[in-house]
Amino acid sequence: SPRIQVDSGAQTFAVGDVDGDGDLDLVVGRPSSGLIILRNNGTPVLDVEPLSAEAIGTNATSVALGDLDGDGDLDVVASSRYQSQILRMLNDGTGAFSSRANSDVGSSPKSVVLGDADGDGDLDAVVANGSSNNVSLLRNDGTAGFGASINFDVGSSPQRVVFKDLDGDGDLDIATV
């Protein structure tokens, strides 16, 4: 397999078919210049293209993929260490991400995950905020926008978060480390 050097110190990536062609692509958070997509074009060489540098800033800490707007394609949610916001980018179905919006969260977001927190059928976001010692829940408003964050204190410097049914009761639970 070929080796792909993205950036020294890249901290995060997500895998999914972002361009709808049936193969898996990578969305990578780079420490110096935001996000890039490594598109799988069916050959051993991936096409590399910038996704967003200005919108997420530097030091991307987490990337999550999920269908936020219910149109069947994968949208992107990402966090950056130096911004107290997450970035949401909607996919137009071809892998182009033109609709961007930021949502406020706690200080120094380290990890973002997606899941249906309120049982309404759309994906909500949960973010571990390292410097503010809390987790932010952002509910999807049904149009792929996130409402104001609801913050939960969790202890000292959460780095990662999971959003799974941990106790088997049918709803999603939050755990951090």
Q: Does residue 119 have a pLDDT over 70?
A: yes
Average pLDDT taken over every residue of the chain: 89
Q: Say if CB 61 and CB 29 are below 8 A apart.
A: yes
Residue 81's pLDDT is: 84
Residue 55's pLDDT is: 55
Distances 95 to 17, 19, 163, 166 between C-alpha atoms, Å: 9, 4, 26, 33
Q: What is the pLDDT of residues 93-103, one digit of tens each?
A: 988 887 888 99
**Residue 69 per-residue DSSP state:** S
Residue 5's pLDDT is: 67
Quick one: 55-176 is in which CATH superfamily? YVTN repeat-like/Quinoprotein amine dehydrogenase (2.130.10.10)
Q: Say if CB 124 and CB 117 are below 8 A apart.
A: yes
Residue 2's pLDDT is: 63
Distances 146 to 5, 104, 168 between C-alpha atoms, Å: 34, 9, 27
Ordered by start, the domain boundaries in the chain are 55-176
Q: What is the pTM of this model?
A: 0.91
